[in-house]
Amino acid sequence: MERSIYLGNDLNSRPIVSFENTENFCMARALVERAQALRTRSSTDEESAFEAEGVYPDQYTEVPRVEFFKSLSFGKEVKEKSCSCGVEKPVTVNFTATDDWQSDLITTTQRFSQLFSLGHLSDLVITFADSNEVIRAHKLVLASASFVFERMLYTDTKEALTGRVKLHCNVEGFKWILNNLYLGTSDLKNVVTAILVFDVAQLYQINGIAAMCKDYLRYQVSLENVSEVFSVAKTYSEDVLMNACLKKVSGSWSEMIDEHIADMTDELWLYLLQRPVLPMPEVKLFEGLVKWASHQLEYEGSETSPSNIRGKIERFLPHLRLLSIPSDTFIDRVVPTQVFSPQECTSILMNLRGVSSSLPSSVRCSKVLHSRIDITPETLRYCVLTRMSEGRKSQPGTVTEMILLKNFTVSSPILLHQLHTQDGSTLKDAQMILTDADGRQVGIAKPLGVLWRFITPVFMYANKSYTVSIDKVLVTRYAYKKEFCSHASDVQFKGCTGDNYIKIAFWPAQVKP
Percentage of residues in the chain with pLDDT exceeding 70? 71
CATH number at residue 381: 2.60.120.820
Same domain flag for 41 and 153: no
d(CA 239, CA 189): 24
Domain presence at residue 444? yes
Same domain flag for 398 and 292: no
pLDDT at 89 over 70: no
pLDDT for res 70: 36
Tens-digit pLDDT profile for residues 18-69: 544 444 455 555 555 554 554 444 444 544 544 444 444 443 333 333 333 3
Q: CB-hemisphere CA count at 13 Å for 286?
A: 25
Cα–Cα distances (Å) from 97 to 38, 44, 321, in that order, read 9, 15, 71
Domain presence at residue 264? no
Q: How many domains does the chain have?
A: 4
The domain boundary residue, chosen from 174, 207, 240: 207
The domain boundary residue, chosen from 50, 79, 100: 100
pLDDT for res 111: 75
Listed ranges 111-120, 262-271, 390-399; the one with the highest mean pLDDT: 262-271
Same domain flag for 11 and 122: no
Domain presence at residue 116? yes
Domain presence at residue 342? yes
Q: Which stretches does DSSP call E strand in 331-437?
A: 381-384, 387-390, 395-396, 401-410, 414-421, 432-436
Spatial neighbors of 244 by CB under 8 A, at least 6 apart, are 217, 218, 221, 229
Residue 314, classed as helix, strand or coil, is helix
The domain boundary residue, chosen from 100, 134, 165: 100
d(CA 249, CA 284): 13
Same domain flag for 294 and 308: yes
First-to-last CA distance in the chain?
A: 103
Domain presence at residue 95? yes
CATH number at residue 164: 3.30.710.10
Same domain flag for 365 and 392: no
* Average pLDDT score over residue span 316-320: 92
**What sign does the dihedral 416-418-423-429 (CA atoms) show?**
positive
Percentage of residues in the chain with pLDDT exceeding 90? 37
pLDDT for res 103: 65
Listed ranges 12-16, 100-104, 145-149; the one with the highest mean pLDDT: 145-149
d(CA 447, CA 427): 9
pLDDT interval class at 394 (50, 70, 90)? very low
pLDDT interval class at 300 (50, 70, 90)? very high
Domain presence at residue 265? no
Taking alpha carbons only, the member of 425, 417, 424 closest to residue 445 is 417
Residue 122, classed as helix, strand or coil, is coil
* Average pLDDT score over residue span 384-399: 57
445 compared with 75, residue with greater pLDDT: 445
pLDDT at 98 over 80: no
Same domain flag for 406 and 478: yes
Q: Which stretches does DSSP call E strand in 161-317?
A: 164-167
Same domain flag for 141 and 122: yes
pLDDT at 511 over 70: no
- H/E stretch holding 141: helix 139-143
d(CA 47, CA 38): 11
Structural domain of 166 = 108-207
Tens-digit pLDDT profile for residues 457-470: 888 888 899 999 88
Same domain flag for 46 and 166: no
* Average pLDDT score over residue span 165-191: 90
pLDDT for res 427: 61
d(CA 444, CA 436): 12
Tens-digit pLDDT profile for residues 417-446: 999 887 555 566 788 899 999 988 888 888
pLDDT for res 357: 66
**pTM for the full predicted model:** 0.61
As beta bridge partners, residue 389 has 483
Spatial neighbors of 368 by CB under 8 A, at least 6 apart, are 321, 323, 324, 509, 510, 511, 512
Same domain flag for 131 and 60: no
Domain presence at residue 115? yes
Spatial neighbors of 77 by CB under 8 A, at least 6 apart, are 8, 9, 92, 94
d(CA 42, CA 35): 10
Same domain flag for 465 and 426: yes
* Average pLDDT score over residue span 70-78: 37
pLDDT interval class at 250 (50, 70, 90)? confident
* Average pLDDT score over residue span 264-271: 94
On average, the pLDDT of the chain sits at: 77
Domain presence at residue 219? no
Same domain flag for 502 and 382: yes
Give the angle 235-252-431 at the CA atoms, nearest 5°.
Answer: 40
pLDDT at 256 over 70: yes
Listed ranges 90-99, 119-128, 431-440, 492-501; the one with the highest mean pLDDT: 431-440
Q: Which stretches does DSSP call E strand in 36-163?
A: 78-84, 87-93, 124-128, 131-137
pLDDT at 408 over 50: yes
pLDDT for res 392: 45
Same domain flag for 165 and 68: no
pLDDT for res 451: 86
